[in-house]
Amino acid sequence: MTIEFETPKPIVQQQYVLKTVADNMMRPHARYFDENEHEIPWDYINFMHQAMKASGAGSLAPKEKKDADPNKPKRPPIGYQMLAHMLEIISWGDAGMYLVTPGGGLGAAAVQSAGNPEQKKKFLARFAGDKPTFAAMCMTEAGSGSDTSSIRATAVLDEETNEWVLNGEKIFVTAGEKALTVREETGKGFIVVWATIDPEAGRAGMRSFVVEAGTPGATVTKLENKLGIRASDTAVIVLQDCRVPFENILGKPTVEKTTKGFKGAMATFDATRPLVAAIGMGVARAALEFLKEKLAEEGIEIRYGVPRNRLTSIERDVIDMEVMARSAWLMVLKAVWMADNQKHNALEASMSKVKAGDVGVKITQKAVEILGPLGYSREYLLEKWFRDAKITDIYEGTGQINRLVVARNLLGYRGSELR
């Protein structure tokens, strides 16, 4: 197998455009939206929607396949790789504002992973509509965080109306308010709710349900005030006798003896965890570049190639930070390459997420330490990046949970055998 380290040309072109967006539409406004947490950056949202629509990136719906020219060499798939590079750059601009970029997020990823062709066509095509549209994943509950088998939200089929009746409370829903609220400024979004159709069946009874914006019985009851990524809304959503059509279930409506349905839904994270890792790497790169810039202003240059025992303490720290960042980024690239080539990547996805979460926190913390009061000051964005970095280690599976996933895959244990 030949490994190519050269970035594909379409990704290079995308990087140039997104760097301009990060420089001009994100960095200048990052502090304002950090300090005004629940204010929505509509200028950025509308610009990104139009840009994504014009480029064709807005539509997630399956496209009709055309007869391929058998004599034309096939282009290697780079969809997830392109996403990873995109998220790294715009998170370099601002991770919080990235999280309000219109699109499907985890909600659409769930439909893409577990939905049938009709569901994909119905729900995913709307992201290419005239208005910016949002989707969100509702999984976490007060008594069920990383242990998804503890989910208590229920879905009961009303056979008279052929509707699912959902009840429960979901917390820490990223973009939940924008996905569930009906606005003139946005298209019709949706949330994907994890619930059980049979509490006695454990994970085998878990299913996902699409709840569209404006559905009676689905209510945003609270917006969290957070440490970082403050430009992004994080909502509490209560489902009280919330009725959705029968066809809005993702997966089979019957309980099977296996956990195939649960594993299918969890496959969503195999695709998205490396992308979350890419977000963390963008934040880490922003902090590292800022640190080197400020050191250079003081006449401190990093001497590469000099024996380690002759380097200053600061030089050793910076070089170590760069090694951590590059190694973590290579793990991200491997995981998304595997996703593009439809290779099972549960191990690599979790490894990249663990590494990026750990490295992002260490790099931003060390940058703050080295710059001292300058790093701690709100005059610069470095302290904000320190706060933003921690979320990479928490959402879409905490570092501890992903370490368990890695251990289970390496040692061949089932979840019940290694907890």
CA distances from 272 to 83, 119, 152, 202, 332 (A): 10, 20, 24, 24, 11
State pLDDT tens for residues 240-294.
999 999 999 998 898 876 555 556 556 667 888 999 999 999 999 999 999 999 9
- Can you tell me the distance from the alpha carbon of 127 to that of 13, in angstroms, rounded to the nearest whole number? 23
Q: Phi/psi zone of residue 155: left (φ > 0), alpha (ψ -120 to 50 degrees), beta?
A: beta
Global confidence as pTM: 0.91
| Domain boundary assignment for the chain | 9-63+76-103, 108-256, 262-411
The most confident of 213-217, 405-409, 412-416, by mean pLDDT: 213-217
- Over the chain, what is the mean pLDDT? 91
pLDDT digits (tens, 9 = 90+) for 353-375: 999 999 999 999 999 999 999 99
Find all residues with CB under 8 Å of 198, minimum gap 6, and list them. Answer: 204, 205, 255
Give the three-state DSSP class for 306.
coil
Which phi and psi (to 5°) does residue 4 adopt?
-100, 125
3-state SS class at 144 = strand
Q: Is the pLDDT of residue 329 over 70?
A: yes
Domain 262-411 homologous superfamily, CATH: Butyryl-CoA Dehydrogenase, subunit A, domain 3 (1.20.140.10)
pLDDT at 7: 87
Residues identified as active-site: 396
In this structure, which CATH number among 3.40.50.410, 2.60.120.590, 2.40.110.10, 2.40.50.140 belongs to the domain 108-256?
2.40.110.10
Q: Say if CB 84 and CB 344 are below 8 A apart.
A: no
The predicted model gives 30-41 an average pLDDT of: 96
Q: Is 80 exceeded by the pLDDT of residue 308?
A: yes
User: Cβ(390)–Cβ(227) under 8 Å?
Assistant: yes
Burial pattern 273-283, b for ≥16 Cβ within 10 A else e, equals bbbbbbbbbbb
